[in-house]
Amino acid sequence: MKQLPESEQPVEKCARYGAQSLSDAELLAVILRSGTQEVTALQLAQLFLAQRDKNLLNLFTMPPEEMQRIPGIGQVKAAQLKCIAELASRIARTSRLRDVTLNDPSSIAAYYMETLRHEPKECLLLAMFDSKSALLGDAVISVGTVNSSLVSPREVFLKALEYKAVHIVLLHNHPSGDPAPSESDSQVTHRVLECGAMLGIALADHIIIGDNRYMSFRENGLLG
């Protein structure tokens, strides 16, 4: 390999040997493209990876404001890094979409895992299915504590009716990483279950996403 400035070496290496030959820092350096007068793009990438989680999970867990505290990362570079995280999530979801089956809670949990497991707050999401159990779409119902006094079944079923859903699945994350249901989780589940029975829209499951783990009310016989 011809001698190039360190910040350009990852690009040359990628061109010659493919992206799979690059380290995590080198991959980020290609995205960042430039460093500062003091550090190269590769050194900046290494500095970024040394923060918080000490790995690529920083792309998900670090908000843009925290990224911008690193000398050399401004608003544009922080946006680039967050866009990479979003692309990774969307690629993971796209590859798993064909496997999503209403009757298989693990397939639904896998599809939404990367979307929800990195959220710093509890996020309640509604997944909607048609009469053939095909996924119609999803919508965020609330962000914050999933509490029976705060989550309105009205919002859930207005969205379900908009999509003409026949079956629905509630999903939310536990930022602690532990997917065990709380009393509030159970209260929300049964309120929505009862309202759905009256409207003819079945609550098929409530899935809680933890850190690479999930808990399904359906699998655990908690839907009544």
Read off the CATH number of the domain in which 208 is found. Answer: 3.40.140.10
CB atoms within 10 A of CB 146: 26
This prediction's pTM? 0.71
Residue 7's pLDDT is 46
Last residue of a domain, one of 36, 58, 93: 93
Q: Is 63 in the same domain as 137?
A: no
Residue 5's pLDDT is 53
Residue 6's pLDDT is 53
Would 160 be classed as within a structural domain?
Answer: yes
Indicate the pLDDT class of residue 100, thresholds 50, 70 and 90. confident
Q: Is 105 in the same domain as 198?
A: yes
Residue 147's pLDDT is 65
Indicate the pLDDT class of residue 148, thresholds 50, 70 and 90. low
Backbone phi and psi for residue 103, each to the nearest 5 degrees, phi listed first? -85, 0
Would 223 be classed as within a structural domain?
Answer: no
Give percent of the chain above pLDDT 90: 73
CA–CA distance, 124 with 89 (Å, rounded to integer) = 18
CA atoms within 13 A on the CB side of 98: 2
Q: Mean pLDDT throughout 103-116? A: 92
Q: Is 86 in the same domain as 164?
A: no
72 or 148: whose pLDDT is higher?
A: 72
Would 1 be classed as within a structural domain?
Answer: no
| pLDDT of residue 1 exceeding 80 | no
Last residue of a domain, one of 36, 61, 93: 93
In the chain, the amino acid numbered 221 is G
CA–CA distance, 83 with 33 (Å, rounded to integer) = 15
Q: Is 150 in the same domain as 174?
A: yes
Would 224 be classed as within a structural domain?
Answer: no
Number of separate domains in the chain = 2
Domain span holding position 35 = 6-93
Last residue of a domain, one of 75, 93, 111: 93
Q: Is 72 in the same domain as 121?
A: no
Would 221 be classed as within a structural domain?
Answer: no
Q: Is 89 in the same domain as 106?
A: no
Residue 2's pLDDT is 46
113: left (phi > 0), else alpha (psi -120 to 50), else beta?
A: alpha
